[in-house]
A = this chain, B = another copy of it.
Amino acid sequence: MNSEDLYSNIRRKKSYLCVGLDSALEKIPEHLKKYKNPVFEFNKQIIDTTAAYAVAYKPNLAFYEYRGSEGWKDLELTAGYIKTHYPEQFLIADAKRGDIGNTSAMYASTFFERMDFDAVTVAPYMGEDSVSPFLTYKDKYIIILTLTSNTGASDFQYFSSADGEYLFSEVIRKSKNWGNKDNIMYVVGATKASMLETIRKQIPDHFLLVPGIGAQGGNLEEVSRYGLNKQCGLLVNASRSIIFYSKESDFAEKAAQESQRIQLEMEKLLRESGLH
């Protein structure tokens, strides 16, 4: 999927919501545990009810890996289900990978060929050759960790150079030359909304993946004020606040209601920015 297609989905849905599938087995409703693949069943119902309000889904790999090969099976089934039934959805593997060249090439093959994800989150610490193997795929994206939403973000991301540049800005400055807005996006946490203004000066045209609204407390209006660009340029993620809004048998319905609430706020913010 290229950024034109993504923007056209955003306009059609009046939404830039990404639903995070942090689907831990222990947290899903009891009544689903009778299914052969309870986590897949949970995801399927969440996807079916929220797809009208979302433009992207983001399984976080940790929540699949911790159950080993069984968890991977759920991940594969989920990715396959989305690609088959909702091919317009932008599918992100929140994997935070990054390794030496030949190893990153294996990861790229895993997510882009084996499972047909549209994008993978990657960590920048190991530099260009750790991410460039992902950039050889047409219409696929890397999403580079830049300024994250957690407290530890301040440990190194604000490490600053002699001329006052932060590490996260250096990550953007260098990496934007490794590809372009059609194969690179950046992760910027919603809890760092005030920095979005600075970041937008560096990369006015790239899409940003913004985690941290909902359970982590970031503010959608503030994120949108500083982050929206002329192609929208934002995918705002909510995970637990949607998928575990209810832990009872009405979980999918409640997830849809919460997604719609966010979508309506996004519709208003898009309208105010003249984007629809």
Does any Cβ of B come within 8 Å of A233's Cβ? no
Whether B68 and A115, one on each chain, are in contact in the complex, defined by CB atoms closer than 8 angstroms, is yes
- Shortest distance in angstroms between A268's beta carbon and chain B's nearest beta carbon? 29
Whether A114 and B68, one on each chain, are in contact in the complex, defined by CB atoms closer than 8 angstroms, is yes
Whether B24 and A106, one on each chain, are in contact in the complex, defined by CB atoms closer than 8 angstroms, is yes
Nearest to A168 among chain B residues (CB) is B125
Does any Cβ of B come within 8 Å of A159's Cβ? yes
Which chain B positions have C-beta within 8 A of A160? 161-162
Which chain B positions have C-beta within 8 A of A100? 148-150, 216
Whether B96 and A62, one on each chain, are in contact in the complex, defined by CB atoms closer than 8 angstroms, is no
- 14 A-B pairs besides A125-B145, A127-B156 with CB distance below 8 A are A62-B103, A63-B103, A67-B114, A68-B73, A72-B72, A96-B98, A100-B150, A101-B150, A123-B123, A123-B125, A156-B167, A160-B161, A161-B161, A162-B162
List residues 156-174 of chain A with CB under 8 A from any CB of chain B: 156-157, 159-162, 167, 170-171, 174
List residues 90-115 of chain A with CB under 8 A from any CB of chain B: 96-101, 103-104, 106-107, 109-110, 114-115
Whether B130 and A156, one on each chain, are in contact in the complex, defined by CB atoms closer than 8 angstroms, is no
Does any Cβ of B come within 8 Å of A154's Cβ? yes
Whether A127 and B151, one on each chain, are in contact in the complex, defined by CB atoms closer than 8 angstroms, is yes
User: How far is B235's CA from A142's CA once the two chains are assembled, in angstroms?
Assistant: 32
Whether B130 and A150, one on each chain, are in contact in the complex, defined by CB atoms closer than 8 angstroms, is yes
Which chain B positions have C-beta within 8 A of A125? 123-125, 145, 148, 156-157
List residues 40-64 of chain A with CB under 8 A from any CB of chain B: 60, 62-63
User: How far is B161's CA from A42's CA once the two chains are assembled, in angstroms?
Assistant: 47
- Shortest distance in angstroms between A66's beta carbon and chain B's nearest beta carbon? 4
User: How far is B150's CA from A39's CA once the two chains are assembled, in angstroms?
Assistant: 38
Does any Cβ of B come within 8 Å of A128's Cβ? yes
Does any Cβ of B come within 8 Å of A70's Cβ? yes
Q: Can you list 18 A-B pairs, Cβ within 8 angstroms, ordered by A?
A: A62-B106, A62-B110, A65-B72, A65-B110, A66-B114, A69-B70, A123-B123, A123-B125, A123-B126, A125-B156, A128-B151, A129-B152, A156-B170, A156-B171, A159-B159, A159-B161, A160-B162, A162-B162
- Which of B106, B145, B152, B154 is A63 in contact with, Cβ under 8 Å? B106
Does any Cβ of B come within 8 Å of A205's Cβ? no
Whether A159 and B170, one on each chain, are in contact in the complex, defined by CB atoms closer than 8 angstroms, is yes
- Shortest distance in angstroms between A220's beta carbon and chain B's nearest beta carbon? 19
